[in-house]
């Protein structure tokens, strides 16, 4: 639950809308810049732009948001008194439940299960420190 609340607190929806608008705007630039090209070359230019902007911009941005929401969610979890050591165990169960049927990370909007587990383990101590500071006030 903390993960989803973190998306709202970090304004990920607004940031994603801004990035999508930028991608669309640059797409219009590519359309205009390639308008005098032969049809096949224009199609190739637009395809390269689409794939490049998705793999190089949209997907990494989304994975960054997911990792940020995991971190903030852990902090919220710790502040609320939940055991942050349970979070990596949840992702280990999610990994097992996927039966290895996840896309490669580069093609996904989410970090790989392995990366999430690793990042959550790293952030656990920080989350506990944030909770200690807030709860001691």
Of 4, 86, 114, 129, the catalytic one is: 4
Find out whether 57 and 19 touch, Cβ atoms under 8 Å.
yes
- The position carrying tokens 């959550």 is 120
Closest to 129 (Cα-Cα) out of 68, 86, 74:
74
**Who contacts 95 (Cβ-Cβ below 8 Å, separation ≥6)?**
113, 114, 117
How is residue 125 written in tokens?
Answer: 């101590």
**Who contacts 35 (Cβ-Cβ below 8 Å, separation ≥6)?**
42
Residue 68 among the catalytic residues: no
Find out whether 86 and 130 touch, Cβ atoms under 8 Å.
no
Q: Which residues are catalytic?
A: 4
């Amino acid at each position: 639950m903390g993960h989803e609340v973190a998306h709202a607190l970090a304004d990920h929806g607004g940031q994603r809308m801004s990035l999508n608008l930028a991608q669309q705007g640059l797409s219009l630039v590519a359309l205009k810049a390639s308008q005098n090209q032969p049809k096949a070359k224009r199609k190739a230019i637009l395809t390269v732009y689409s794939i490049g902007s998705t793999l190089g911009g949209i997907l990494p941005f989304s994975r960054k948001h997911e990792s940020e929401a995991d971190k903030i969610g852990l902090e919220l979890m710790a502040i609320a008194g939940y055991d942050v050591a349970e979070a990596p165990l949840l992702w280990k169960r999610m990994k097992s439940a996927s039966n290895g049927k996840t896309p490669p990370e580069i093609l996904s909007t989410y970090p790989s299960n392995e990366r999430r587990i690793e990042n959550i383990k790293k952030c656990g101590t920080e989350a506990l420190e944030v909770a200690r500071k807030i709860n001691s006030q």
